[in-house]
Structures are given as C-alpha cells and as structure tokens.
C-alpha cells in the first residue's frame, strides 16, 4: 500500500489533501455526505475577532473554471467558534484542523490567534493577510512586506502553534512579501489564487460577456509565484500543491510551502 503520510510544520497528516478555507465551512455539511476523516485535514472558514454578516446578496457568481465571490468574511466570530463550532466538529472530525484567521488590525489578529492557540484540535493557524488594514488607510496587510511581517511577529508572540501566512496575489512583488514573512518567523507560506476584479469585470462576467480567468491560467500564475518564492528563499520543495473541484464546483488552487524553520521542526 502506498504511504500517503506527510508532515506539515511538525504535525503528521495521513495524506496531503486539505480543502481550502472558505470552501468547506466548518466541515459539518460535508460530514453529512461522507466521512471527512479520509482527508489529511481541512482549513475552516475565515474567522474574525467579532461576528461579521458579510456583504449583501448577490455575492457569488459561477463561471467556467471557478467562481467569483465577494462574501465579505461572513462568520460568527471566534468566541462562537470556540463555544459551538469546535465542540460540534470534534464529534465528526478527529484530526487537527487548520484555523483560518482574518483581521482588520494587528490587535484583532492577535486576539483571535491567541484564543485559538489554546484549542487542542487546532493544529495550525492559517493567517490571512489579504484583509484591509483599517488603521493603515485600508491597504491590505499582504501588499506590504513590512505590514505582513508585523502581523507575523505579533501573532508569533502570543502563540505556540505553527503559523502559516496566506498571501495575496494582488501585489507587484510576492517574493519580497514571502521573504519578509519568513524572516519574521512564519512557519509556512500559502500562495492563494484569488484575484481582485473591478466592478466592470464582475458585471461583464455576470452578463456572460467576459471570462476573467480559467483553470490553465490560474495554474500558470500559481506555478510562477511558486517558482519565484522557492528560487528567492532557496526552498527545495512545496509540501502541498493541489487543485480540487469539490461538490459545489468551487475551484481551489493553493500551494503550501514550509519555511526552513518549519522544515527543521518537521525533521525532528
């Protein structure tokens, strides 16, 4: 039998299959369809310090090769997740889970990560720095090496679990930002494939007039990001590079890369 086990930042997974955040909720909808313990893990829905209702409808449009969305990080807030979602999750998922965290200030990232770090079933903290910094003019934390590194340093001070930074592709130099996160102590990097679109882009897609992206193009973009980051930081391999189409026909394209520090931890 083929051995599918892999190690991510010191934690062993039975296989490298990890549905990406936002596509899998908190897992229970899919647990009604099959035993999700066949997965290596999953990254749960983006969670913030406080409850968010998200953007008004309509906020999703299907298209060839993927989906447009502007959900707006709808979630019940970290306290509700700890009090209700995690206990329910333990009933049907018996492996470490990846906690996706979003925030709109350094303080919010710290507050959410510090609380989740205390939860036994949380194996990794996946910190999404694509969120706008409300104290920094609204620019995404992930568009600046300095701002992204500041998030990493602040979160690492209050946590003991591996911190994986989810970068934004909507930048001019993703290599510099990845390197800044690594130098600040990040245990891993995720190169995500979501692209910002203009109102005209969205309206054109909804009217059937324009295709903004498709799967082959996303693959090329992701591979270019991957090679750039690996070349600059002398990484030799990426742990997970996957492309999954789940029941809801949501295309996932993510790449997980361990930093050298995390690779040393995995080797122990």
CATH number, domain containing residue 132:
3.20.20.70
How many helices and strands (H and E) does the chain possess? 9, 10
* Per-residue pLDDT at 150: 95
Concerning whether 131 is annotated as a catalytic residue, the answer is yes
* Per-residue pLDDT at 96: 96
Q: Identify the domain containing residue 99 by its residue range.
A: 6-267
Go through 115-129 and write b for each residue having 16 or more CB atoms within 10 A of its CB, e for each that does not. bbbeeeebbbbbbbb
Q: Is residue 108 part of a domain?
A: yes
Concatenated DSSP letters of 36-101: GGGSS--BPPPB-SS-B--SPSP-EEEETTEEEE-----B--HHHIIIIIHHHHHHH--S-EEEEE
Q: Is residue 1 part of a domain?
A: no
pLDDT digits (tens, 9 = 90+) for 91-108: 999 999 999 999 989 999
pLDDT digits (tens, 9 = 90+) for 205-241: 445 444 334 444 455 556 666 666 666 654 433 333 3
Number of structural domains, the chain?
1
pTM of the model: 0.75
The catalytic position among 9, 113, 131, 181 is 131
Pairing label, strands 240-245, 122-128: unpaired
The residue ranges of the chain whose pLDDT is under 50 are 134, 137-138, 193, 205-206, 208-217, 234-257
* Per-residue pLDDT at 130: 78
* Per-residue pLDDT at 171: 77
* Per-residue pLDDT at 210: 41
Residue 209 burial (CB count, 10 A): 9
């Amino acid at each position: 039998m083929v051995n599918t086990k892999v190690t991510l930042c010191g934690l062993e997974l039975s296989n490298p299959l990890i549905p990406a955040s936002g596509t899998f909720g908190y897992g229970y909808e899919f647990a009604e369809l099959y035993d999700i313990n066949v997965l290596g893990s999953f990254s749960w829905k983006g969670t913030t310090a406080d409850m968010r209702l998200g953007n008004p409808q309509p906020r999703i449009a299907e298209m060839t090769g993927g989906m447009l969305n502007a959900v707006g990080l709808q979630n019940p807030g970290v306290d509700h997740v700890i009090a209700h979602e995690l206990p329910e999750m333990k009933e049907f998922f018996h492996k470490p889970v990846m906690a996706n965290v979003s925030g709109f200030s350094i303080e919010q990232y710290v507050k959410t990560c510090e609380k989740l770090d205390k939860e036994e079933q949380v194996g990794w903290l996946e910190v999404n720095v694509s969120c706008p910094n409300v104290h920094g003019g609204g620019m995404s934390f992930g568009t600046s090496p300095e701002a992204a590194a500041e998030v990493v340093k602040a979160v690492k001070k209050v946590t003991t679990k591996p911190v994986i930074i989810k970068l934004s592709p909507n930048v001019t130099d993703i290599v510099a930002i990845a390197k800044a996160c690594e130098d600040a102590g990040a245990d891993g990097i995720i190169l995500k494939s979501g692209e910002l679109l203009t109102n005209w882009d969205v309206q054109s897609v909804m009217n059937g007039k324009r295709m903004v992206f498709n799967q082959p193009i996303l693959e090329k973009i992701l591979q270019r990001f991957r090679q750039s980051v690996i070349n600059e930081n002398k990484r030799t391999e990426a742990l997970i590079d996957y492309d999954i189409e789940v029941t809801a026909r949501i295309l996932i394209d993510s790449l997980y890369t361990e930093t050298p520090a995390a690779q040393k931890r995995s080797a122990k």
